[in-house]
C-alpha cells in the first residue's frame, strides 16, 4: 500500500501509479463500510475544499459536498460565472489565492482545448492539491468509481475479463470525450482486455490512444478498436456504452450534430445486451439519454449497475481527499 499521497494533485489518470490507485480503492472500500455501519470518520476535520465549476453537475457536486461533510470538513461551491474570472482573474491568481484560502481545489472545466490546460496552470500556482472533477481530456474520479464497481461485481482478479467501451448515440448535446479516454488509460492496468468501439468519426486523441496501447502492453492485456457495436458486445463481461462528441473530427457543433445523427442505431438495447455474457454488467456514468442512448429495459434492468457506480463516486472521492488533503 502506498500511503504517502499527501499534497498530491490528481488531474490525469496516470498521475497516480497502479499501486497508488490500489491504495485509493482499498481506502474507498473501508470508507464505504464505515458509512454503512454509521462509524464516524472525520479525517478532514476543519479542512475546506474549493469546488470551482465551469460546467453543470449533479453527481459530481453532490458527491464531493457530501463527502467533505462526512469527512468532517466543508466544500465551498463556486460557480465560475459568479466570480471575477471573466473579469481578469488568471489561473495563477486562482491557484495562488485559493491555495491560501482552502486545503484543496477541485475544478470541473470541460471546454475543449481549455479545461486541462486551466487545471494544470492552477496546480502550478497552488500550494494545495488540485483535483480534476472532469476536464476536456480526463475524468479520473468517474473512472476510479468505475474500477471500484467492477471489482465489486467481478472480483479483484480481472485478468481475462473483456470490457467494452462503446460510443452510443445521444440527442442532447456533443458530450466530452474525457470518460472514454480515462477508461482506456486506467482499465488495462488492472488486467482487463479492452475493446473500444465507435464510428470512424468518433476517434479519441492519438496521444491518449498511444498511452492506452502502452499500458495494455506493459500489463499484458489486449486493446482492440472496432467500428461495430454489435461485434464489440459479443461475449463481453462489462459493457460501458455512452455518447461523446466527434471532437477530433470537428469542433463545429452543427457539423458534429450532423455526423452524430447518422448513427442513431448505436443504442444499447436488450437485443445487443443479449450478445454479451449472461452475467455481464452494464455501466454508464450518467446522465443518459433514455431510450435514445440506452433503453429503459437495459438501464433499469438486471445487468445494470449504474446506481452502485454513481454511489461509488462518493467513496473514491472521499478516499482521494482523505489521502491528499490531510
Question: What are the chain's domains?
Answer: 13-139+310-324 (3.40.50.1370), 142-308 (3.40.50.1370)
Given this model, what pLDDT does residue 170 score? 95
pLDDT of 47 above 90: yes
| Cβ–Cβ under 8 Å, residues 42 and 72 | yes
Instruction: Report the range of poorest mean pLDDT among 83-92, 123-132, 205-214, 308-317.
Output: 83-92
Given this model, what pLDDT does residue 92 score? 97
Pairwise CA distance, residues 48 & 183, whole Å: 29
Q: What angle do CA 208, 162, 314 make, to 5 degrees?
A: 70
Span 54-64, average pLDDT: 94
pTM, 2 dp: 0.97
Given this model, what pLDDT does residue 322 score? 98
Span 30-52, average pLDDT: 98
Confidence tier at 173 by pLDDT (50, 70, 90): confident
Contacts of 243 (CB under 8 A, 6+ apart): 167, 168, 169, 170, 175, 260, 289, 293
Given this model, what pLDDT does residue 58 score? 92
Report the percent of the chain where pLDDT is more than 70: 100
Pairwise CA distance, residues 185 & 188, whole Å: 7
Q: Express each pLDDT in 62-102 by its tens digit.
A: 999 999 999 999 999 999 988 889 899 999 999 999 999 99
Q: Express each pLDDT in 249-306 by its tens digit.
A: 999 999 999 999 999 999 999 999 999 999 999 999 999 999 999 999 999 999 999 9
Confidence tier at 10 by pLDDT (50, 70, 90): very high
Given this model, what pLDDT does residue 238 score? 98
pLDDT of 237 above 90: yes
pLDDT of 2 above 90: no
Amino acid at each position: 500500500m502506498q500511503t504517502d499521497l499527501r499534497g498530491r494533485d490528481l488531474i490525469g489518470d496516470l498521475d497516480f501509479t497502479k499501486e497508488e490507485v490500489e491504495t485509493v480503492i482499498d481506502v474507498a472500500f473501508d470508507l464505504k463500510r464505515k458509512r454503512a455501519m454509521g462509524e464516524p470518520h472525520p479525517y478532514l476535520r476543519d479542512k475546506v475544499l474549493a469546488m470551482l465549476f465551469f460546467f453543470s453537475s449533479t453527481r459530481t457536486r453532490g458527491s464531493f459536498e457530501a463527502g467533505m461533510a462526512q469527512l468532517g470538513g466543508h466544500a465551498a461551491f463556486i460557480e465560475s460565472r459568479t466570480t471575477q474570472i471573466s473579469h481578469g482573474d488568471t489561473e495563477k491568481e486562482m491557484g495562488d489565492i485559493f491555495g491560501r484560502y482552502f486545503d484543496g481545489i477541485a475544478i470541473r472545466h470541460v471546454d475543449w482545448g481549455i479545461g486541462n490546460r486551466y487545471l494544470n496552470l492552477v496546480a502550478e500556482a497552488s500550494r494545495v492539491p488540485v483535483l480534476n472533477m472532469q476536464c476536456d481530456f480526463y475524468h479520473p474520479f468517474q473512472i476510479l468509481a468505475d474500477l471500484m464497481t467492477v471489482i465489486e461485481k467481478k472480483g479483484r482478479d480481472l485478468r481475462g475479463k473483456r470490457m467494452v467501451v462503446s460510443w452510443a448515440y445521444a440527442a442532447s448535446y456533443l458530450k466530452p470525450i474525457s470518460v472514454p479516454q480515462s477508461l482506456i488509460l486506467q482499465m488495462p492496468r488492472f488486467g482487463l482486455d479492452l475493446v473500444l468501439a465507435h464510428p470512424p468519426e468518433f476517434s479519441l486523441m492519438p496521444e491518449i490512444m498511444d498511452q492506452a496501447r502502452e499500458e495494455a502492453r506493459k500489463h499484458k492485456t489486449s486493446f482492440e478498436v472496432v467500428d461495430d457495436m454489435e461485434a464489440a458486445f459479443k461475449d463481453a463481461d462489462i459493457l460501458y456504452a455512452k455518447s461523446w462528441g466527434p471532437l477530433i473530427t470537428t469542433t463545429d457543433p452543427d457539423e458534429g450534430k450532423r455526423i452524430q445523427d447518422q448513427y442513431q442505431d448505436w443504442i444499447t438495447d436488450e437485443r445487443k445486451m443479449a450478445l454479451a455474457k449472461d452475467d455481464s454488467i452494464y455501466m454508464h456514468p450518467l446522465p443518459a439519454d433514455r431510450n435514445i442512448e440506452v433503453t429503459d429495459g437495459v438501464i433499469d434492468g438486471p445487468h445494470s449497475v449504474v446506481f452502485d457506480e454513481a454511489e461509488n463516486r462518493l467513496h473514491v472521492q472521499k478516499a482521494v481527499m482523505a489521502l491528499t488533503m490531510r
